[in-house]
Amino acid sequence: MSVIDYAWTEAVKKADVPHFRFHDLRHTFASYMAMSNASLRDLAEVLGHQKLQHTMAYSHLLPSHTASMVERMGAQFLSHEGGPHDHV
């Protein structure tokens, strides 16, 4: 067992997170990037994906993030100060 494998195994044990794999961190990274408004192309580049379908499988958005995006869209395009046509 390599030093990295040993350190990972010990860290997972101490964190008491069963069935957590090193590869899971890749999904977490992609999700955090997506919630930081990175584009799918940005994510694909960083993750080394050739197909955007693979990238989409890696980036998982939190429901609170999705709701926040909808609220921001509403504030921007449906505010009382201007109608939706004022922004086009």
Rounded Cα distance between 11 and 3, Å, is: 12
All residues at 6 or more sequence positions from 76 whose CB lies less than 8 Å from its CB, including other chains = 87
Name the DSSP class of 78: S
Q: How confident is the model at residue 7 (pLDDT cuts 50, 70, 90)?
A: very high
Does 55 fall in a domain? yes
Does 72 fall in a domain? no
Query: Which residue is it, tokens 């101490």?
Result: 14
| One-letter amino acid of 83 | G
pLDDT tens, residue by residue, 49-61: 999 888 888 777 7
Domain count, the chain: 1
Q: Is there a contact between 62 and 35 (Cβ–Cβ < 8 Å)? A: yes
Does 30 fall in a domain? yes
Rounded Cα distance between 44 and 8, Å, is: 26
Does 47 fall in a domain? yes
pTM here is 0.60
Which structural domain range is residue 55 located in?
3-62
